Structure 1
Amino acid sequence: MQYRGKLGVPLLAALLTGAALAPVTAMAAQAELRLGAAAADIGNLDPHFASSTSDRTLVAWIYGGLVRFAPGSTDPATIEGDLAESWEATNNNLVWTFKLRSGVQWQHGYGEVTADDVVFSLQKAADPKRSAFSTDYAAFKSVEAVDPHTVRITLANQVPSLLGLLTNYAGGFIISKKAYEERGEGFTRNPVGFGPFQFESIEPGVAVHFTAHKKYFRGSPKIEKVTYRFLNAAAGRDLAFTSGEIDVSAGTTDQRWLQRMKAMPGAVIDIFDPAELTVLHINRNQKPFDDIRVRQAVAYALAPAQIAQFRGPEFTRVAKSVIPSNNLGLNPEPGLPQHNLEKAKALLAEAGFPNGLTVKMISSQLPSYATTDQLLQAQLAKAGIKLELQPAEHSTWHQMIRKDLSPLVDYGAARFPVADTYLTQFYYSKSGIGEPGQVTNFSHCSVADKQIEAARTETDPKKQIERWQEAQKLIVADVCGVPITETAQVWIRKDKLDWGFELKGSMSLGPLLTEQAHFKD
């Protein structure tokens, strides 16, 4: 969905920012892209640990995978070769062989990408000590380099989508073995990939700088420099965009912002998938939430429809289940409780809290999270649940919630659109915080382990979906979390900027920057 107009840059703003208006400067600006991020700093540019929205956006520019989603799409049907030029599988889909392109070059002069790099990367992605996505690769029995340009993957059992695990997303990114071993811990903030843009430098709290990877195998990017500025405050991003200091900005999922920006001349608003599912995860191991009646009270106290309407129907819809609605295996009617304040109060009283209770919750300062948390706070208060919000910078918040420091976690996420991925990462006991395979199971949910595991090896597609749907019912009944809304990605850009493709979706949760991006004359 796009909205178009014509951008006018005020003369005073141009003078105050030192922006000259001469044609020669305008031409020079065509080679540099400036973006404004809704973040205070970078977190981790090792792609196997990149979990925040901002980090995911950046690693997708730096790295590639064996295969990739076609630019502008999140549809698994569009998956195409990236580093791999071809592949084949045995009849039982347990052994896969990938032929790699010859001559693909690493950034910063690290030489050619080989099968050894692929083996190293996928083994790292499957290692819980070196990856946040290791559970996704539990079925990997072996990854072997047959020769410098051939990789063989053997599975212990069938998986819902092997290609999905090998895309330019999460654990599927390929990294330079040599660079990783040379740079050690420094790799997280000084990465090397084979993607279209290479990392140059970080100004902590200010910006990340990139340059074009001139030897990118699809061709040298048309954009030569990229500056990714940290502008955590929405007002600051809006001012920077309207004054011409940045060309692209993370939008605000607020209908008032949308209406204001739709009226701005010379701007294009990109609203694209995947819609991030926001769930209020409830830690079943911490009092008073070890009592299911208290968890149920929270669920009945919340009114997702009101939140969706407030946020804006153009990019927000009510969640249907505990997994995103675009996932294969969705149960559209898992038995979600309907808003009922009286029932919420009665459950609290039955659990021993007739006068309500007070709960502390760590809240991300990222604007979209902060707004949702304030809405949750207001709704819970009506049922007698006082939510004390403790704001934290977004990257710090990510670290804190992964230490079980908050009994309630408002978390928005999109994953590869097959039910297994989301169910495994958020509701599988082995993904629980503190477990060796820790991912994002903040609730310590375990009620659907049997169904999640069985679905992975189920060869009948119909039965596999039935198991996923049963898992969702169990998770909802146990109130491991309360699904709230699904919110699309929203960015605004100058109309002279062309991504090089129609931006309908991006698994990196931000605009995918490829060699095709350019400024129109």
Structure 2
Amino acid sequence: MNKKTLSTTAMALLLSAGLALPAAAQGTLTVSSPQDPGSWDPIDTFLVNWASVATNIYDGLTYRGPDMELVPALATGWEELDEGTRIRFTLREGVTFHNGEPFNAEAVKFTFDRLLGDEGAAGPQQSNYTSIDSVEIIDDYTVDFHLGAPDPVLLTKLAGYGAMIVPPQYASEVSEEEFNLNPVGTGPFSFVSYEPRIGINLEAFEDHWGGAPQLANLNYRFITEPSTAVAELQSGGVDLVIPPTIPIGMISTIEQDPRLSVVSTPGPTVYSLRFNTRDGITADERVRRALIMAVDRDTIVEAILGGEASVIASLQGELSFGFDPALEPLPYDPEAARALLAEAGVAPGSQVQIDIRGNDATFNEVVQAISAYLAQVGITASIQPYETNVLLNDIIPQGRTGAMFQQSWGGWTFDYDNTAYSMYHSGEKWNPYDSDPELDALLESQRPMTDRDAREEVLHEIARYTAERALEMPIYNLNAIYAVSDRVQNFVPAPDSRLRLTDVTVE
């Protein structure tokens, strides 16, 4: 595509300075999204496809664009007080919600009282913000966040999901169902209509504090079947197909059409097979290392994933804060794997069960290849598919997995703490088997740190420690894959699929 892009950095400078973006133009962009979130209330969802839409409807106190830089949004600045237990935010003046309500300190306090109260408790977002004890209004455009616990990722969390600011009067007066179906925010596009399982339509909010969008209309269609989404792209029914719709196997079909392009960028999602470290042969670290070394992950990435991924050494990709480029994956070495298995007393023909999500066709293919590699070192692997909700909410948390189990993790904060604490700290939902006081201490030590470099070094140490213990088989970090019509100009792919489409135009 011929892109005439206003860079994200330039946009951020304009926004932080309170200057308007270029004037609005005409045109409608139609986007294919694979999932209808079912509610547009920020406290109701953790779905990436909610954020793909709602990032255009709502604003947070902070904003993080495709360049991964955190910049001011509804807050023009902030400072840490009382040794990091209080954060003071200075709010942007002159901002209005789509319904005309003013944005001010009252709106911020209302949003977080609601999120941290009974309404928020009924949804999945509250747990991400429990470090906030209370929000105090200092004046109309100043608020203090009082923290009960350190959270090094809080400022990033304020850029998305549950922290999106809502209008107090509207949210108080309408029913919960009406707010779910008729969202109101301060974002660059305002709500027009929503038809469940069909789509949602937005229009430019000319009075947005950052300037009017280039597009007049932004429409989303919910198309779950990848082949249907691609057919609609080819026919002009949609202009943009967003992750995670496009299967690897359909990339060549799209690229063969001169009117279409595939655009990809490293995403947040990492794939691994975690080990049952409590029971059976995988309780032995030597066995775990052997199973990792038995698998040629480079070949899997190239042959099965078409190069749209990168092999990882820990449960994070290169965009993650805490990523250590010096940490290399264990090499593919079947001879060394056989030696380790023999040293551990594992007899040829020993069996392991691998639990996976039954609806993940691509990963199923990856696991079939892993099973074949394990067979070459004398391990017989059986593959047990589960319905996703059963695996995630019963089998894993209850510690009822086989020797290995699929763990796909897409922490949108791109901070290793968001992954590592959940995966490795004793007692966490995603850590049913392991309890390591030394690792717990490392995880806890970095959370209060305000020195970014010092915290990054501890995160590096955590990654090295978990790799040495071989707590999982890290496999790959998958790209976020978009398919785009050549009608679309100025499109910049977001690694986390949270697309703010203010600069996009259509020809």
> Normalised by the size of structure 2, how large is the TM-score?
0.77
State the shift of 1:269 in Å.
2.7
Could you say which residue in structure 2 is the equivalent of 1:53?
A: 48
Could you say which residue in structure 1 is the equivalent of 2:383?
A: 388
Deviations 1:46-65 (A, max 9, x none): 44553343233233223221
Given the alignment of the two structures, is residue 453 of structure 1 paired with residue 444 of structure 2, yes or no? Answer: yes
1:119–1:143 Cα contact (<8 Å) kept: yes
State the shift of 1:454 in Å.
0.7
State the shift of 1:451 in Å.
0.6
Given the alignment of the two structures, is residue 84 of structure 1 paired with residue 75 of structure 2, yes or no? Answer: yes
State the shift of 1:118 in Å.
2.0
Amino acid at match of 2:470: V
Could you say which residue in structure 2 is the equivalent of 1:32?
A: 28
State the shift of 1:319 in Å.
1.0
Correspondent of 2:267 among 255, 262, 274: 274
State the shift of 1:411 in Å.
0.4
Correspondent of 1:166 among 158, 172, 193: 158
Rounded to whole Å, the distance in 2 between the matches of 1:123 and 1:380 is 52
Correspondent of 2:423 among 398, 421, 426: 426
Could you say which residue in structure 1 is the equivalent of 2:101?
A: 111
Deviations 1:385-413 (A, max 9, x none): 43424264x78876667865765123041
Identity of aligned residues (%): 21
Correspondent of 2:86 among 95, 100, 110: 95
Give the match's secondary structure for 2:262. strand
Could you say which residue in structure 1 is the equivalent of 2:320?
A: 327
Change over 3 Å in CA distance of 1:158–1:250 after alignment to 2: closer
Change over 3 Å in CA distance of 1:487–1:463 after alignment to 2: same
Structure 2 gaps of 5+ residues are 4-25
Given the alignment of the two structures, is residue 232 of structure 1 paired with residue 224 of structure 2, yes or no? Answer: yes
Correspondent of 2:470 among 470, 479, 493: 479
Q: What are the equivalent positions in structure 2 for 1:133-282 lying under 5 Å apart?
A: 136-137=128-129, 139-155=131-147, 159-160=151-152, 162-167=154-159, 169-177=160-168, 182-184=174-176, 191-199=183-191, 203-204=195-196, 206-212=197-203, 214=205, 216-250=208-242, 257-282=250-275
State the shift of 1:67 in Å.
1.2
Correspondent of 1:66 among 57, 61, 65: 61
Deviations 1:493-517 (A, max 9, x none): 1122224xx61x525x226133333
1:409–1:442 Cα contact (<8 Å) kept: no
Change over 3 Å in CA distance of 1:311–1:80 after alignment to 2: same
Change over 3 Å in CA distance of 1:337–1:224 after alignment to 2: same
1:158–1:456 Cα contact (<8 Å) kept: yes
State the shift of 1:416 in Å.
2.3
Give the match's secondary structure for 2:444. helix
State the shift of 1:97 in Å.
2.0
State the shift of 1:316 in Å.
1.8
Structure 1 gaps of 5+ residues are 5-29, 434-440
Could you say which residue in structure 2 is the equivalent of 1:517?
A: 504
Give aligned pairs, total: 473
Rounded to whole Å, the distance in 1 between the matches of 2:391 and 2:38 is 11
Give the match's secondary structure for 1:486. strand
Rounded to whole Å, the distance in 1 between the matches of 2:440 and 2:178 is 37
Deviations 1:260-311 (A, max 9, x none): 4333222233223435322333455677765656644543343321222124
Change over 3 Å in CA distance of 1:403–1:112 after alignment to 2: farther
Rounded to whole Å, the distance in 1 between the matches of 2:39 and 2:370 is 29
Rounded to whole Å, the distance in 1 between the matches of 2:285 and 2:181 is 42
Structure 1 stretch displaced more, 283-292 or 449-458: 283-292
Deviations 1:418-463 (A, max 9, x none): 3323323433335x22xxxxxxx35565432211111122355554
2:42–2:164 Cα contact (<8 Å) kept: yes
Rounded to whole Å, the distance in 2 between the matches of 1:356 and 1:224 is 62
Amino acid at match of 2:93: S
2:312–2:474 Cα contact (<8 Å) kept: yes
State the shift of 1:179 in Å.
5.3
Over the aligned positions, Cα root-mean-square deviation in angstroms equals 3.9
Q: What are the equivalent positions in structure 2 for 1:341-420 lying under 5 Å apart?
A: 341=334, 350=344, 354-357=348-351, 359=353, 361-363=355-357, 365-366=359-360, 368-380=362-374, 382=376, 384-390=379-385, 392=387, 408-420=405-417
